[in-house]
Structure 1
Amino acid sequence: MGTPLAVGISDIATLPLRLGSAVRGRRVFHPVGVLAEGTLERVAPLGEGLPLESGDVIGRVSKGVGLPGAVPDVAGVAWRMPQPSAPTPWDVLLASTVRGRLLLAPAASWSGTTFSSLMPLRYKDGVWWLQARLSTPIDSPGLALEAIRSRIASTGVDFDIEQAAGTGGFLPLARLTLHTLATNSGDISFDPTVHSHPDVELMPGWLTGFRRAAYRRSRQGRDAE
């Protein structure tokens, strides 16, 4: 009956994400957040570790489930770096973890929370991890996005970005500063599975494929493709 339609397992498995996004009218993952303009300043020597470069970025601090007010939630921080010599920008997404690099966990407050890439990155035949910590004090209790929004609007917020090779310890890589609330940036769909450095890829490949399909379904559900 005509030409068979090839449908991947990841597309079938992530179809509910498209439906959920359409019903909610917003992204399934980290539906509420604060978008801001900022800068990334590399502090590690060039050539040591991942190829992040200093420059302007657009960033987002978010809550994973979108729970209201100061209620604990999975916390997220993401930023997009332009790459003039590459076909796409480079998106980095980190989420709150507990006891290591892999265990996604809710955060009770912004201060003291560790954000992890959750998946390692392959670069130059090596395996690397990224993590971040908010270095700007947030006095408000809980995980209220309004506290982040107010601090960005007043003095800005800083995140210390660190990298680790394999199972080694984390070392300073860069400082992320979000200093101006974004007002005209639209619905930016951060997606590290399609927006990456040409020489950097998420691992393992099968999980990257599933994650790529999940992000795509979420964008399609809210017409943000």
Structure 2
Amino acid sequence: MRISDLTTLPLKAGAALRDRRVFHPTGVLCAGTVTRLAPDGEGLPVVSGDIVGRISKGAGTPGALPDFAGLAWRMQRDADAQVPWDVLMVSSTARVLLRPTRSWPAAQYSTLMPLGYRGAVYWLRAHLQTPITGEGLALSAVRDQLSTGTVDFAVEQARGGGPFTALATLSFDRALCGDEPECDQPFDPTVRSGAEVTLLPGWLTSLRRAAYRNSREGRGAE
């Protein structure tokens, strides 16, 4: 057994006991589009198209209580090939530090790990553009917004330690489902990261891959 599997086995047991995700157990699965804003060939190979995403609470705190806000989405291709690409983000500060938030508009999202692409290192961050109203960090406020309009995020990229610039806009226009078992859509950037994009560093990617796999297996997800 690999060390990465051994150290993440408690996640498998925890998911089995809870019969749900260990990470971001509550959320709203939704659908929409990604629209590239950066010039073609500049930075990461995001292309415009349909996406499936999930807006979630990291610890699953009830109701409107503060939590780590999560944002995930899957693109069906990138500029290099017809290969799925998952991106996971969480509310953070200084690119790599988790930070809980009291409301959806207050959160700034980061991948926490940089992305490698064609010899360069990139960071991704995002923030909400839609003025979601409602109390605190309630998922019901996200559902209410999707029932009447869109939930939009601005996504930015930075090469190395350089400044962030506009990369794309995410626009979710409908909710697909909530936390029912049949709606469990696993997002995993350690196994779906496009054709040439990689998470860095490699050792942390291996540990994260094992953690996600054990969580999926523990709750019986595909």
TM-score by length of 1: 0.93
Q: Which runs of 5+ in 2 are unaligned?
A: none
Counterpart residue number, 2:29:
35
In structure 1, distance between residues paired with 2:30 and 2:133: 20
Instruction: Supply the AA of the counterpart residue of 1:201.
Output: T
Structure 1 equivalent of residue 145 of structure 2: 151
Helix, strand or coil at the partner of 1:127: strand
CA contact (8 A) 2:84 2:192 kept: yes
Does the 8 Å CA contact 2:28/2:177 hold for their aligned counterparts?
Answer: no
**Partner Cα separation in structure 2 for residue 194 and residue 72 of structure 1:** 30
* CA–CA separation in structure 2 for the residues paired with 1:42 and 1:48: 11
Identity of aligned residues (%): 55
Q: Does the alignment pair 1:222 with 2:219?
A: yes
Give yes or no for the alignment of 1:206 onto 2:200: no
Residue of structure 2 aligned with 1:56, choices 50, 59, 69 = 50
What do residues 192-217 of structure 1 show as CA deviations (whole Å, max 9, x unaligned)? 00011111000000000000000000
SS in structure 2 of the partner of residue 201 of structure 1: strand
Q: Are 2:135 and 1:136 aligned? A: no
The CA deviation at 1:141 is 3.0
Instruction: From the CA coordinates, give the structure whose radius of gyration is larger.
Output: 1
| 1:188 to 2:188 alignment | no
Shift of 1:112: 2.5
Question: Counterpart in 2 of 1:10?
Answer: 4
Partners of 2:161 and 2:127 in 1: CA distance:
19
Cross-structure match for 1:125: 119
- Please give the per-residue CA displacement for 1:10-56, whole angstroms capped at 9, x wherever unaligned: 10100000000000001100000001110000011100000000000
Deviations 1:134-178 (A, max 9, x none): 000012131111101110111111000000000111100000001
User: Greater CA deviation, 199-208 or 82-91?
Assistant: 82-91
CA-based RMSD: 1.5
What is the CA-CA distance between 1:187 and the residue it aligns to?
1.5
Q: Aligned residue for 2:70? A: 76
Q: What's the TM-score once normalised by structure 2's chain length?
A: 0.95
CA distance in 1, matches of 2:121, 2:213: 26
Q: Which amino acid aligns with 1:23?
A: L
> Which amino acid letter does the alignment assign opposite residue 149 of structure 2?
T
Bigger shift: residues 80-89 or 24-33? 80-89
The runs of at least 4 aligned residues of structure 1 exceeding 4 Å deviation read 84-88
Query: Following the alignment from structure 1 to structure 2, what is the Cα–Cα distance between the partners of residues 21 and 113?
Result: 27
Distance 1:33 1:186 in 2: 10
**Stretch deviating more after TM superposition (15-24 or 87-96):** 87-96
**Which stretches in structure 1 are left out of the alignment for 5+ residues?**
1-6
| Cα distance between partner residues in 2 of 1:200 and 1:150 | 35
